[in-house]
Amino acid sequence: SSSPVRGIVGFSMMASATAGEDGHFKLSETSVLKINKGDITKWFIDGSSDAIVNPANPRMLGGGGADGAIHRAAGPELKEACYKVPEVQPGIRCPTGEARITPGFKLPASHVIHTVGPIYDSDKDPKGSLRNAYKNCLTVAKENNIKYIAFPSISCGVYGYPYEEAATVALSTIKEFANDIKEVHFVLFADDIYDIWTKKAKELLLV
Ligand code: AR6
């Protein structure tokens, strides 16, 4: 069935769309998913109730990949804010599968939700940990009145998660927990990952 999707400001402008066209998918009566190609550091919707997700490591003080790009774009205040997140064990601010929120500082998005995905080859339950990462990002978003959230493909870089399985976990978990978040976006850097996410979304979200 088709339903109109309201126009959104900023990153992408859509007058209206049918579920499945132009990377738009229906999650519930109140929530849509959009799959975008691009650089997550540039993404925003309204600069006040929006958040990008940072695929971080448990120390939360920066790193390579998307984490490095997000810290560079946000400026040094982001690292200072991360430093202030309390350690739950020495050197661990965010255990695998959990999420923490900070302001976005110089980023166009107002918030950063930091999460830690599983290292595919060493995690005892990579599927469960990846599911927890997506779920806890959405929980933290709701607790902070975030209405628009953008995810990268968590764990699909340095942490070595296979793309197809990651897409299945990501999309099914978001479908389950998006609730009253207005728009859930993916901003995917790599063409092959974008294609896999789009294919899986058509399988899992248009039934
Ligand atoms: N925008 C969107 N996606 C991006 C961007 C970007 N600017 N840059 C990279 N990606 P990764 P992980 C994609 O390695 O696997 C860091 O060192 C990339 O193509 O960033 O969860 C942390 O500090 C890939 O598909 O995160 C941790 O130590 C996806 O983002 C570790 O890497 C995730 O790749 C986390 O590893």
* pLDDT surpasses 60 at 3: no
Name the residue at shortest CA distance from atom 9 of ligand 1. Answer: 66
| Residues with Cβ within 8 Å of residue 95, at least 6 apart in sequence | 58, 88, 89, 116
Q: How confident is the model at residue 23 (pLDDT cuts 50, 70, 90)?
A: confident
pLDDT single digits (tens) 93-133? 999 999 999 999 999 999 999 999 999 999 999 999 999 99
Average pLDDT estimate for 143-154: 98
Q: Which atom of ligand 1 is nearest to the CA of 159?
A: 15
* Alpha carbon of residue 16 to chain centroid: 23
Q: For ligand 1, is residue 23 a contact (CB within 6 Å)?
A: no
CA of 70 to the centre of ligand 1 (A): 10
CA 69 to ligand 1 centroid distance, Å: 9
Residue-wise DSSP of 94-126: S-TT-EEEEE-TTSSSSEEEEE----TTT-SSH
| φ, ψ (nearest 5 deg) of residue 108 | -65, -30
- Which tokens belong to 29? 């009566």
Q: Which amino acid is at 122?
A: S
Is any ligand 1 atom within 6 A of the Cβ of residue 167? no
64 CB within 6 A, ligand 1: yes
121 as an active site residue: the answer is: no
Compute how many other C-beta atoms are within 10 angstroms of the C-beta atom of residue 68: 11
Residue 7 has pLDDT above 60, yes or no: no
Mean pLDDT for all residues in the chain = 91
Phi, psi of 101 (to 5 degrees): -115, 145
Interface ipTM: 0.99
pLDDT of residue 163: 98
Residue 189 — pLDDT band, cuts 50, 70, 90? very high
Lowest-pLDDT choice from 1-10, 66-75, 167-176: 1-10
Does the pLDDT value for residue 173 go beyond 50? yes
Q: What is the pLDDT of residue 21?
A: 55
The whole-number pLDDT of residue 82 equals 98
Closest CA to 84 of 73, 94, 70: 94
24-28/31-37 β-pairing: antiparallel
The CB density around residue 204, as the number of other CB atoms within 10 Å, is 16
Helix residue ranges, H only, the chain: 65-74, 76-83, 126-143, 163-177, 191-205
pLDDT of 166 over the 80 cut: yes
How many other CB atoms sit within 10 Å of the CB of residue 17? 19
High-pLDDT (> 90) share of the chain, %: 87
Per-residue pLDDT of 65-96, as tens digits, reads 999 999 999 999 999 999 999 999 999 999 99
pLDDT mean over 192-198: 97
| Beta bridge partners of residue 100, listed in sequence order | 114
Q: At residue 159, what is the residue type?
A: Y
